[in-house]
Amino acid sequence: MKRAALFAILCLTAMLQLPCRAQATADRHILLNGNLVTPGGLIRNGWLDIFNGAILHLSAQKPQVQNALIVETSDLIFPGFIDLHDHPTFNVFPRWTPPSKYPNRYAWRNSAQYWDELGGKANQLFKGGTRFCDIDEYAEVKALIGGTTSMIGFGNVMHTDLLPHCIDGLVRNLDVATGFYGSGQGYERIVNSIGILPLDMNANAAAQVADGIRNGKIDLLDIHMAEGRADDEESAQELDLLDARGLLGPHTVLVHAVGLSPAQFTRVHNAGSSIVWSPRSNFELYGTTVNLDAAFRAGVTISVAPDWSPTGSDNMWDEIRYAHEVSAAQFDGLFSSRQLVEMASEVPARVARIDDKVGSLAENKLADLILVHPADSTALDNPYKAITDGRITQIDLVMIGGRAVYGEPGLLGRFTQHTEALKVCGVDKSLNLDELPDGSFLEAQNRLEARMKAIGSSLAPLSECK
């Protein structure tokens, strides 16, 4: 049975006590052993008791549970990453190297080079002759191999109310289908917008979002804001427009915020808004990034996310690594490894008001996890460095709602025999075939490769493996 159909039945028959994705897992306990990276510290050689998709119990001792699937590892176990800034449909395109640096995003969006090399081809790809589900599966697997378990961005680009059912599977889509509130689409509480200017969000749409926030139906407006250099007036004025629309408040996160001044960061903080930092894409397009010192001094909450792979990182893990390098080289080590990993998990969960469900390892949260192979025994001294100093191939397992979806073949094989082999940066990995929303990954990839060639482009690699 197709997974989406199975979910629909399970969710209709269950009384929605737990999120629907959790209902789909077998009613057998999983006892998962490893070094648990929790907000309160590391539990060495600890245990997670996972049941019905959620973490029932965390402990230093092995729990006594009958008929459990017992999986022992020496891995570090982190919460999965939560990506608040992405454009997954574009992540099938290869890297785009801008010919020069731009003052703001309007400059490159309107440039002939962008249109010839990426924008026009993207339109061709999205408009017809391409199976959306191939793009969806490729982009989600690309995110997954970098540890992402929740992401945003599918809801905006295709400009359609209802996406094909494949969107319901694999990685949680925060603006379309998470499984947190119901099975399928139409339940989500996060709105994604690529800007506040009328071409991206007209006054009517802005008023609807403001109403939704007031009425408690929308938890978060995730909106691109001030994506341009600090001396760029066009970018600086966007904050005033957002405010005038009644949308500068605690239910808004500003994506980019590169053009904001220290005084504007104080305003953002006082309003209770936060920002998403996407350094790699900022440097590639504008040659600069957020005035982090000013944002930090103003007390602004900061999440980190990759934007899109044409000018940003391929995935969350690589963007965390990049942010770590920028923090060390340009901001005097402003952020520690721990802070950066939390800016990709615990912090965005709080910002998106889903921290009662995901974002950290704690009892009653969903089992959205990544298992990371420690490089050596010293890795336990500062587990967060395993990510800021490590490589995505160290990911041994990704679990979403208690279901193992990707990982090292031997470990994934403990959870399912129905797998598809995959090479990631030359290392053997596997995908759980039952979880793939569009069937065989290789077949989806082949179809997409042919389609990309037909529109005069090529398919981006899953990872550049830097």
> Using CA atoms, how far apart are residues 166 and 157, in angstroms rounded to an integer?
16
Q: Is residue 238 a contact point for Zn ion (CB under 5 A)?
A: no
In the shown chain, the binding pattern of residues 249 to 288 toward Zn ion, with x for contact by CB under 5 A and - for none, equals: ----------------------------------------
Do 196 and 242 form a contact (C-beta atoms < 8 A)? Answer: yes
Nearest approach, Cβ of residue 315 and Zn ion (Å): 15
Residues 11-30 that bind Zn ion (CB under 5 A): none
3-state secondary structure of 71: strand
Return the number of the residue (307 or 342) whose C-beta is nearest Zn ion: 307
Nearest approach, Cβ of residue 87 and Zn ion (Å): 6
Return the number of the residue (311 or 394) whose C-beta is nearest Zn ion: 311
Return the number of the residue (25 or 252) whose C-beta is nearest Zn ion: 252
Nearest approach, Cβ of residue 243 and Zn ion (Å): 21
Return the number of the residue (284 or 449) whose C-beta is nearest Zn ion: 284
Return the number of the residue (313 or 430) whose C-beta is nearest Zn ion: 313
User: What is Dmax (Cα atoms) for the chain?
Assistant: 64
DSSP type of residue 86: B
Under rule CB under 5 A, how many of the chain's residues touch Zn ion? Answer: 1
Half-sphere exposure of 298 (CA within 13 A, CB side): 25
Nearest approach, Cβ of residue 383 and Zn ion (Å): 30
Do 279 and 310 form a contact (C-beta atoms < 8 A)? Answer: no
Return the number of the residue (171 or 305) whose C-beta is nearest Zn ion: 305
Return the number of the residue (307 or 355) whose C-beta is nearest Zn ion: 307
Nearest approach, Cβ of residue 401 and Zn ion (Å): 27
> Using CA atoms, how far apart are residues 265 and 26, in angstroms rounded to an integer?
47
Nearest approach, Cβ of residue 278 and Zn ion (Å): 7
Q: Token digits for 394?
A: 């160290």
Q: Which residue is nearest to Zn ion (CB)?
A: 307
Give the rounded distance of the alpha carbon of 335 from its chain centre: 20
Return the number of the residue (326 or 367) whose C-beta is nearest Zn ion: 326
Residues 295-314 that bind Zn ion (CB under 5 A): 307
Nearest approach, Cβ of residue 227 and Zn ion (Å): 7
Give the CA-trace dihedral at 80, 85, 91, 93, to 10 degrees: -160
Burial class (CB in 10 A: 0-12, 13-18, 19+), 335: buried
Which residues are bridge partners to 51 per DSSP? 54
DSSP type of residue 183: S
Nearest approach, Cβ of residue 86 and Zn ion (Å): 7
> Using CA atoms, how far apart are residues 17 and 23, in angstroms rounded to an integer?
9
> Using CA atoms, how far apart are residues 422 and 260, in angstroms rounded to an integer?
42
Binding site for Zn ion (CB under 5 A): 307
